[in-house]
Amino acid sequence: MAHKVALITGGVKRVGAAIARQLHAAGMNLVLHYRHSETAAHALQAELNNQRSESVLLLQADLGHTGKLMSMVRQIIDHYGRLDVLINNASSFYPTRIGKVGEKEWDELFESNLKAPFFLSQAAAPHLSKCHGCIINLVDIHAERPLKNYPVYSTTKAGLVMLTKALARELGPDVRVNAIAPGAILWPDNEMDDVSKQRIISNITLKRHGEPQDIAQAVLFLVRDGGYITGQVISVDGGRTLNQ
């Protein structure tokens, strides 16, 4: 893992930051993408560079501007000379109740959750191929079982599951492509009452929510140890999908 390079979109907060710390601890150099979280980005960069000098590069970008994705990848190659891992973690999540959905919401969710991962994967593919690298997409258990009041979000994640499988066929044998489907890992940034949280936990086989570290460890497994795995979706959900 030493000196290999991973690009993590949305990599400076929440699950993205946990993935960053896990891969960095395993010896990888990182490129952390962020959109608005500049303070968090520089704090995480300083933290990790204090552990290993010049091991983290920050890239600020709106991934919706697909024309800029090629230049993002070019910056990585100019800086590190290689790209081994792409983790499509950045995502938008909010309700879209039927009868109130406009094209703005549809376009925004598809742009963030499906269009950007496709075009970034396409831009990165030649460099990943040279290193026999891999792509990991962060999907959702609701790609398979839709979340009430989130029809557009659920559909984008279902599309990302299919994109994972399609890219695995297109980019093999040189690039492995897999996905991780988290369950209840972190509660949404908007307030959720305790009754709603308990209702979710009661439907989880392990009767507890997960931690960002659970996702980060699954990522590390696919990057480091999953050399004969491609086109697969690993659910990290405490058994929640068994009870839905």
Catalytic residue list: 153
Angle between helices 151-171 and 116-130 (to 10 degrees): 20
d(CA 165, CA 143) in angstroms, rounded, equals: 14
Is the peptide bond preceding residue 188 cis, with omega within 30 degrees of 0?
A: no
Q: What Rg, from alpha-carbon coordinates, does the chain have?
A: 17
Amino acid, single-letter form, for residue 196: S
C-alpha of 95 from chain center: 20
Please check whether residue 215 is in contact with residue 169, taking contact to mean a CB–CB distance below 8 angstroms.
no
